[in-house]
């Protein structure tokens, strides 16, 4: 027998009456709320950070991908932010987009997910569809979340529906956003999958249905593990190509001309952001926990990618030695300290490790980044230099860590005594590339 709430939420998901609460208004939740608001849905952004809520309701954005005018547009469309969990009681759909970091021992930290689920369970409206978008290990949705809702007396497929849909936000990507990036969805039951597909189809061009929530959870981890391992491959190749006097960038460009069977990945000073350094560990954790053996590809990739900051410092020492300068006491300018070009996000940026290692070896470290006015590491607290061209001339070594589009690399290279390019964007006889 169908529950009356199920009929109501199904009707609302199809028509314009749908009311959505997005739990977490960060890099994932806020763009998601924007897409829903633009599609005509009634959206409330739930966040426990009162400062974030105040900023949003005042029309100010705190993330790169949305401007203040974007937030003001959302408010005009009826969006509102709240720190009151009781807003869930009037929602037809609740989407959970809270952080899932790693704990001190490298294990998944799902306290935010569990806390959000318990709060939602206490205020659930009849027939509500709950979707988890936070990245996690396979089995979280049906092993952790489902029992939380059932413990409150809610019956799956009658009182509520539950699914997982991995976020695929790529900060700074001007080509692919929420609406034109296919949305993967898997429910803990077929009915939950069906309702989730109907929901996302309101504002996403293509929805991809998986067999269940575990397949959807694992798909996300496969995507980022694939990138993690292939980045490690080219990072390792970059090291031995340097020893063999082979230009790794030329090698990759040549290989990329093959129209099938190859996708170009590029070396760099290390991996950063919330996804690549973290997500593969969720998969590795679950393999070890459930099957009792390690995911060796992930472990090796982690080892290689984590070694890159030390490798950069070693190369910096060699370059200074070639100019009869010691690492200790040399002035080193870092260009670009974010984890990705053309955004201000510094999460897990390898620049932090590189700066601390240089400082520990006695270097006088400075930095420039047009997106980061002030920057702190474990050992440093710095303010960006005013002009990268002038600063390049004042330092013994310049290390390009992130090739922001605003950099005039020709002028910077000409001004610098030595420029070490870790992104392969410079050229010419004087270019010193990774």
Return the active site residues: 275
**Three-state SS for 295?**
coil
CB 171 within 8 Å of CB 64:
yes
- Indicate the burial class of 324 (C-beta count within 10 angstroms; 0-12, 13-18, 19 or more): exposed
CA dist 220 to 28, 32, 215, 283, 376, Å? 14, 17, 9, 10, 31
* Two structure tokens written together for 107: 């294990």
Find the DSSP H helices in 208-271: 213-243, 248-255
Ranges of H-type helices in 101-247: 111-122, 140, 146-151, 190-200, 213-243
d(CA 421, CA 433): 5
CA–CA dist 268, 422 (Å, integer): 5
Bridge partners, 375 (sequence order): 382
End-to-end CA distance of the chain: 64
Backbone angles phi, psi at 407, to 5 degrees: -75, 130
Q: What single DSSP character describes residue 142? A: I
Q: Provide the H-helix boundaries in 106-212.
A: 111-122, 140, 146-151, 190-200
Among 110, 183, 180, smallest CA distance to 148 is for 110
Give the whole-angstrom CA distance, residue 14 versus residue 17: 8
Short-list 84, 89, 91, 17, CA closest to 46: 84
Distance CA 19, CA 9 (A): 9
Among residues 15, 43, 9, the alpha carbon closest in space to that of 29 is found at 43
Largest CA distance in the chain: 82
């Amino acid at each position: 027998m169908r529950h009356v709430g199920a009929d109501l939420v199904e009707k609302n998901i199809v028509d314009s009456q749908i009311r959505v609460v997005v739990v977490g208004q960060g890099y994932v939740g806020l763009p998601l709320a924007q897409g829903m608001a633009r599609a005509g849905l009634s959206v409330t952004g739930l966040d426990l950070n009162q400062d974030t809520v105040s900023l949003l309701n005042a029309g100010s954005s705190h993330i790169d991908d949305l401007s203040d005018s974007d937030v003001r547009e959302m408010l005009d469309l009826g969006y509102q932010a709240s720190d009151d969990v009781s807003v869930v009681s009037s929602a037809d759909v609740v989407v959970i987009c809270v952080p899932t970091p790693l704990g001190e021992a490298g294990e998944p930290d799902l306290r935010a997910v569990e806390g959000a689920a318990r709060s939602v369970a206490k205020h659930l409206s009849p027939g509500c569809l709950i979707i988890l978008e936070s990245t996690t290990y396979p089995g979280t949705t049906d092993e952790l979340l489902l029992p939380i809702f059932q413990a409150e007396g809610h019956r799956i497929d009658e009182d509520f529906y539950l699914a997982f849909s991995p976020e695929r936000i790529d900060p700074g990507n001007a080509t692919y956003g929420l609406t034109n990036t296919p949305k993967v969805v898997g429910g803990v039951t077929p009915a939950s999958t069906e309702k989730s597909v109907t929901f996302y189809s309101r504002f996403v061009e293509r929805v991809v249905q998986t067999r269940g929530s575990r397949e959807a959870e694992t798909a996300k981890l496969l995507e980022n593990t694939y990138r993690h391992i292939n980045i490690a491959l080219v990072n390792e190749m970059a090291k031995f190509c340097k020893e063999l006097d082979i230009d790794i960038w030329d090698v990759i460009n040549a290989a990329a001309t093959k129209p099938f069977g190859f996708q170009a990945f590029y070396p760099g000073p290390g991996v950063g952001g919330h996804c690549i350094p973290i997500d593969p560990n969720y998969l590795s954790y679950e393999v070890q926990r459930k099957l009792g053996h390690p995911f060796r590809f992930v472990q090796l990739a982690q080892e290689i990618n984590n070694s890159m900051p030390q490798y950069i410092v070693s190369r910096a020492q060699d370059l200074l030695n070639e100019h009869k300068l010691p690492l200790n006491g040399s002035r080193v300018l870092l260009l670009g300290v974010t984890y990705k070009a053309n955004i201000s996000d510094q999460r897990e940026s390898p620049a932090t490790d590189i700066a601390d290692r240089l400082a520990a070896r006695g270097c006088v470290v400075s930095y420039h980044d047009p997106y980061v006015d002030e920057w702190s590491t474990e050992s440093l607290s710095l303010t960006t230099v005013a002009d990268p061209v002038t600063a390049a001339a004042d330092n013994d070594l310049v290390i390009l860590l992130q090739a922001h589009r605003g950099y005039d690399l020709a002028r910077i290279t000409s001004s610098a005594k030595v420029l070490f390019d870790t992104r392969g964007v410079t050229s010419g006889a004087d270019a010193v590339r990774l």
